[in-house]
Amino acid sequence: MKFLFPVVFRFQPDLISPLCIPDKGDRDYIGFATLPDQVHRKSVKRGFDFTLMVVGESGLGKSTLINSLFLDDLYKNRKVPDVSERIQKTTSIEKKTMEIEERGVKLRLTVIDTPGFGDAVNCEDSWKVCTNYIEDQFRQYFTDESGLNRRNIQDNRVHCCLYFVPPWGHSLRQMDLELMKRLHQKVNIVVVIAKADCLTTSEIARLKQNILNDIREHEIQMYEFPECDSDEDEEFKQQDRELKASVPFAVVGSNTTLEVSGKKVRGRQYPWGVVDVENPKHSDFIKLRTMLISTHMQDLKDVTEDVHYENFRAQCISQISQHARERGKLKRDSAPYDSDCSETDRLLLQKDQEIRRMQEMLNQMQEKLKGNA
């Protein structure tokens, strides 16, 4: 007899095989304490997905920062447009995907860049491309989740949006506020002050405070760090307090490795010295990387799943129910239904067809079971 986990019987101890009793010497041991290890092995084998959107005007070092965060070059063949091309340039979506492996853990990283954002003379509609892309990914996931084959659903939902604020302003601009107002209920927004080496320490502190004041004044919901559990150690709690105090992150990116005092660092060379990207006194780069990758990546995904996607899903279901009631009312009134189907109508028809197919499959299975019986 083969057991999937150790089992201890309470009766007839003389009939118990020694193989059924664990070596731990505890006769009350069942074995479900290994469930976290089973989940860990399964998750590592399946791998992880993470989608990051970066938004900001050209020249703020978005590509450099992404390369610095993940220690790779995602933009090897990028062509930088000249000034004449930027005048009429519109915001577009550029998608980069890469596979990263670290200590046996595989991560499928997708970076969504928005070239052209804020580059045109008229930037009134720059936010539309970003919101449309996020909603399209929600809609695709909702369609896949409602289908028959749900085993191999690919999650392309945007889990985090890094919004780059230029260092030469005194606070958020109207364009920044308009985008955040339309994105804050659809994605986790993390504000980043780009090229922080252009500012002094006091200027950075003043700019951070002005940005936070604007966010509160316009009631914009940024990504909120979860509270630490009571059983966490003091070191982790201190790290969490430092991360919360650093928002918005003032960062410096660099793809260059320099040698300073016999030590190789990733930084930027200036006539007056070297800016060490990974030095907490020079930049919040390490804190941003710690938050984004080491400590809060899974929480970003959970908030996307439990809050932003659930809101979108509830809206879709509400629209489908409303259209179903309207269609039933039209049928009862014997009115012709010849208007063009909207996207929600097409989705409703698709769900009806899938339900009929599932019913037919169930009927076939029941007939086979009756025949075998």
**What are the distances in angstroms from CA 112 to CA 56, 131, 179, 181, 303?**
12, 12, 16, 20, 19
For 223-254, what is each residue's pLDDT tens digit? Answer: 998 888 877 888 888 888 888 889 899 999 88
In contact, 47 and 155? CB cutoff 8 Å: no
Q: For the chain, what is the radius of gyration of the CA atoms?
A: 27
pLDDT at 8: 39
- Confidence tier at 150 by pLDDT (50, 70, 90): confident
pLDDT at 352: 76
Indicate the Cα dihedral angle 229, 230, 236, 237, nearest 10°.
100
- Confidence tier at 61 by pLDDT (50, 70, 90): confident
pLDDT at 1: 40
DSSP character at residue 186: T
- Confidence tier at 330 by pLDDT (50, 70, 90): low
18-32, 105-119, 306-320, 347-361, range with greatest mean pLDDT: 306-320
- Give the contacts of 285 (CB within 8 A, at least 6 positions apart): 65, 68, 249, 251, 252, 253, 277, 278
**Closest by CA position to 54, among listed 190, 177, 137, 161:** 161
Give the distance, in angstroms, between the CA of residue 129 and the centroid of all CA atoms in the same chain.
18
Rounded average pLDDT over 118-139: 83
Which residue type is seen at 27?
R
pLDDT top residue among 294 and 89: 294
Rounded to 5 degrees, what are φ and ψ at 19? Answer: -70, -20
The CATH homologous superfamily for domain 36-77+86-322 is: P-loop containing nucleotide triphosphate hydrolases (3.40.50.300)
- Confidence tier at 152 by pLDDT (50, 70, 90): confident
Give the distance, in angstroms, between the CA of residue 74 and the centroid of all CA atoms in the same chain.
18
Lowest mean pLDDT among 22-26, 43-47, 66-70, 329-333: 22-26
What would the two tokens of residue 6 be?
């150790």
In the chain, pLDDT over 70 holds for what percent of residues? 81
pLDDT at 307: 93
- The answer to whether residue 116 scores a pLDDT higher than 50 is yes
Measured CA angle at 263 (ends 257, 265), to 5 deg = 30
**What are the distances in angstroms from CA 236 to CA 9, 243, 291, 294?**
42, 11, 12, 12
For 169-196, what is each residue's pLDDT tens digit? Answer: 888 998 899 999 999 999 999 999 999 8
Give the bridge partners for 257, in sequence order.
266
pLDDT at 82: 61
Residues 212, 218: Cα–Cα separation, whole Å: 10
DSSP character at residue 264: E
| Local structure of 142: helix, strand or coil | helix
- The answer to whether residue 24 scores a pLDDT higher than 90 is no
- Confidence tier at 222 by pLDDT (50, 70, 90): very high
**What are the distances in angstroms from CA 304 to CA 134, 210, 265, 349?**
11, 27, 35, 28
Please state the domain extents for the chain.
Answer: 36-77+86-322
- Give the contacts of 274 (CB within 8 A, at least 6 positions apart): 258, 260, 265, 267, 268
- Report the residue count for the chain: 373
Lowest mean pLDDT among 70-84, 325-339, 341-355, 357-371: 325-339
- The answer to whether residue 5 scores a pLDDT higher than 70 is no
Residues 199, 202: Cα–Cα separation, whole Å: 8
- Confidence tier at 2 by pLDDT (50, 70, 90): very low
**Closest by CA position to 162, among listed 115, 125, 112:** 112
The mean predicted confidence, pLDDT, of the chain is 80
pLDDT at 272: 84
pLDDT top residue among 76 and 12: 76
pLDDT at 77: 63
**What are the distances in angstroms from CA 345 to CA 64, 321, 341, 349?**
44, 10, 5, 6
- Give the contacts of 69 (CB within 8 A, at least 6 positions apart): 288, 289, 292, 293
- Confidence tier at 4 by pLDDT (50, 70, 90): very low
For 269-323, what is each residue's pLDDT tens digit? Answer: 888 888 888 888 888 999 999 999 888 999 999 999 999 999 999 988 888 888 7
Place of tokens 């982790």: 236
Which residue type is seen at 16?
I
- Confidence tier at 337 by pLDDT (50, 70, 90): very low
